[in-house]
Amino acid sequence: MIELNVKEYSNKLKELNVDHYVVEHPYFKEVEDVLNYCKLTFENGASTLIFKVDYGYIAVIRRDDCKVNLEKLKKAAKTTLLTMATNKEFSSLTGLEPGSARIYIPQVVKTFLDKKIFEKKYVQAGSGSFTSSINYKTSDLINLPNSTIVDVGFIKSASDSILKSHYSILTGITPSGSGEVHIGNYLGAVVPFLELQKQADKVYFFIADLHALTTIQKRDEMQRNVENLVLSYLAFGIDTNKVVFYRQSDIPQHTELQSILNNITPLSLIKRAHAYKDKLQKGTNPEDINMGLFSYPILMAADILLYDPDYVPVGDDQKQHIEITRDVGGFFNKTYGKTFNLPDIFNMKESARLIGTDGKRKMSKSLNNYIAVFAEEKIIRKQVMSCFTDPNRIKATDPGRVDGNPIFTYHRLLNDDKKEVKDLENRYEKGTVADVEVKEKLFQAILTKFKKERELYSQLKTNPERIKMILQSGAAKARLQASKKMMEVREKIGITNKYSSFSYEK
């Protein structure tokens, strides 16, 4: 083997005027591990592929989130033969181990630089060693001998992603009810969401205000609900660097796509949808069911399909809507050619529903049996104090039951002072503590648990300009993707032609 060491390689790059630096890292054979370690994503990585062609070997440099269109490459490389070099061929040609390929390989006849590389200022690629990589200034790559820029790469659809850790998710939340968040929502929806945002590569999260119109037709109520939800989720710590957070109504492409999808959706499919069927079964007069409710699943399909997510995390009640989305997206793909990725349901472990303060039914805003997270202290105190406990316990000296007692359920889930919880449980069972003390301690525990979030909520509430900026920036990112997808849809269905001048505003 004729392996040049990394230092020599780096010197050679200097000679060629290719600005770069060497990044040392632990021994990694997988691109993904290197990128993860360097806190980069696939789009910031590049790999060298060696192909055998009519006149010898060529190198193709493409971004790690891209695939190569082989037909295009054949044309660009002016060759009829195009086969990927085997590991053996690769090693004997380059003197390097497969998987450690460098961008500059002097033994090849030509180096083809895929155009997408230049969308990034820097890319990271192999150094010939598994313990270091090289970060290149992309604009200098053209200085490599016998190199040309070609347009042969395309971004892999997320579903092609070989690696499970690279996926995108999308979910929406309807600002119905009052938009207020209670401890049931926190445990059942917010905590799982915060977990998900850590794991996923990309997250789209939006406030489905247009969906709320099916039930909310009062201007003030709509405004209040949306505000409550936005403030709450921001206060809980949505990572707006990673999460594209926006309002559905800020992206007109959702309704535009809905109206196109209407035409390929069989009526029978929608008639089977729960939201609509439930209302009918509950005896609502079909005349009183509005079209918004009826076509709710189609708007939801549009919400999703515009962004090609891999997964949609939803609760059980929404699963059917995702199946409808897959059906509708599938019909479109069949009619017009592959356009949409059909997402999978993200299997959220359905957390047990938190019992309400009435001790009977699940906590819900509509049942008014909840404890709010961001309400004023005196309201939260009242909600806690009115909580149902053990009905058989009349005096503080009566031994009480802890299991199935909502106040202790809340203590166990929210009071971080585990010693205090144990102590209260013991005393409750013995009959040496009053209900009011258990409740007062829960009230204090809730304030402690959400101290940071409550402060942030109040701060944000007094700063509408900041909220506006956050939502504006989310909408701008979402619109970019939505417009791109809609241009493709317009093109496929035939409403653009050589006379059309339409384009989406940025």
Catalytic residues: 279, 362, 365
Q: Residue 345, interface with ligand TRP (CB under 6 A)? A: no
First-to-last CA distance in the chain?
A: 53
- Which stretch in 79-87, 101-109, 179-187, 335-343 sits in contact with ligand ADP by CB under 6 A? 179-187
189 contact, one of ligand ADP, ligand TRP, none, CB 5-8 Å limit per kind: ligand ADP
Taking the complex as a whole, the smallest distance from the CB of residue 493 to ligand ADP amounts, in Å, to: 34
Pick the closer one to ligand TRP by CB: 275 or 446. Answer: 275
Pick the closer one to ligand ADP by CB: 128 or 177. Answer: 177
Query: What is the DSSP secondary-structure string of 433-490?
Result: S-HHHHHHHHHHHHHHHTHHHHHHHHHHHT-HHHHHHHHHHHHHHHHHHHHHHHHHHH
Query: Which of 45, 126, 153, 172 is in the footprint of ligand TRP by CB under 6 A?
Result: 172
- Which stretch in 183-191, 269-277, 339-347, 400-408 sits in contact with ligand ADP by CB under 6 A? 183-191
Contacts of range 313-317, beta carbons closer than 8 Å, 24 or more positions apart: 313/169, 313/171, 313/192, 313/193, 313/196, 313/345, 313/346, 313/348, 314/171, 314/345, 314/346, 314/348, 315/188, 315/189, 315/348, 315/350, 316/350, 317/274
Helices (H), 162-218: 183-185, 191-199, 209-212
Query: Which of 315, 399, 404, 464 is in the footprint of ligand ADP by CB under 6 A?
Result: 315
Taking the complex as a whole, the smallest distance from the CB of residue 314 to ligand ADP amounts, in Å, to: 8
Contacts of range 491-496, beta carbons closer than 8 Å, 24 or more positions apart: 492/336, 492/337, 492/339, 493/260, 493/336
Query: What is the DSSP secondary-structure string of 284-312?
Result: --GGGS-HHHHTHHHHHHHHHHTT--SEE
Q: Which residue is nearest to ligand TRP (CB)?
A: 172
- Which stretch in 9-17, 46-54, 192-200, 300-308 sits in contact with ligand TRP by CB under 6 A? 300-308
Angle of helix 418-430 versus helix 435-449 axis, rounded to 10:
170
Taking the complex as a whole, the smallest distance from the CB of residue 344 to ligand ADP amounts, in Å, to: 18
Q: Residue 360, interface with ligand ADP (CB under 6 A)? A: no
Q: Per DSSP, which regions of 341-444 are E strands?
A: 344-346
Q: Residue 303, interface with ligand TRP (CB under 6 A)? A: yes
Q: Residue 13, interface with ligand ADP (CB under 6 A)? A: no
Residue 113 is classified by DSSP as E
Q: Residue 177, interface with ligand ADP (CB under 6 A)? A: yes
Query: Which of 241, 366, 501, 503 is in the footprint of ligand ADP by CB under 6 A?
Result: 366
- Which stretch in 1-9, 150-158, 178-186, 418-426 sits in contact with ligand ADP by CB under 6 A? 178-186
Q: Are 48 and 60 in contact (CB under 8 A)?
A: yes
Pick the closer one to ligand TRP by CB: 296 or 450. Answer: 296
Pick the closer one to ligand ADP by CB: 158 or 355. Answer: 355
Pick the closer one to ligand ADP by CB: 90 or 408. Answer: 408
Site for ligand ADP in 317-356 (CB under 6 A): 351, 353-354
Taking the complex as a whole, the smallest distance from the CB of residue 373 to ligand TRP amounts, in Å, to: 19
Q: Which residues of 44-75 are buried (b: 16+ CB within 10 A; e: fewer)?
A: bbbbbbbbbbeeebbbbbbbbbbebeeeebbe
Query: Which of 147, 253, 318, 405 is in the footprint of ligand TRP by CB under 6 A?
Result: 318
Backbone angles phi, psi at 186, to 5 degrees: -60, -50
177 contact, one of ligand ADP, ligand TRP, none, CB 5-8 Å limit per kind: ligand ADP
Q: Which two tokens stand for residue 502?
A: 């339409």
300 contact, one of ligand ADP, ligand TRP, none, CB 5-8 Å limit per kind: ligand TRP
Query: Which of 12, 67, 224, 365 is in the footprint of ligand ADP by CB under 6 A?
Result: 365
208 contact, one of ligand ADP, ligand TRP, none, CB 5-8 Å limit per kind: ligand TRP
Pick the closer one to ligand ADP by CB: 365 or 461. Answer: 365
Angle of helix 435-449 versus helix 377-385 axis, rounded to 10:
140
Per-residue contact string for residues 430-459; x = within reach of ligand ADP by CB under 6 A = ------------------------------
Pick the closer one to ligand TRP by CB: 61 or 304. Answer: 304
Q: Residue 156, interface with ligand ADP (CB under 6 A)? A: no
Looking only at the bridges linking them, the beta strands covering 153-155 and 147-150 are unpaired
Residues that contact ligand ADP, how many (by CB under 6 A): 16
Taking the complex as a whole, the smallest distance from the CB of residue 353 to ligand TRP amounts, in Å, to: 15
Contacts of range 72-77, beta carbons closer than 8 Å, 24 or more positions apart: 72/150, 72/151, 72/152, 73/112, 73/150, 73/152, 76/112, 76/148, 76/150, 76/151, 76/152, 77/51, 77/53, 77/110, 77/112, 77/150
Residue identified by tokens 């155009």 is: 115
R_g of the chain, CA atoms, integer Å: 29
Q: Which residues of 195-205 are buried (b: 16+ CB within 10 A; e: fewer)?
A: ebbeebbbbbb
- Which stretch in 165-173, 219-227, 257-265, 362-370 sits in contact with ligand TRP by CB under 6 A? 165-173
Contact residues: ligand TRP, CB under 6 A: 170-174, 208, 211, 300, 303-304, 312, 314, 318
Binding site for ligand ADP (CB under 6 A): 177, 182, 184-185, 187-189, 315, 351, 353-354, 362-366
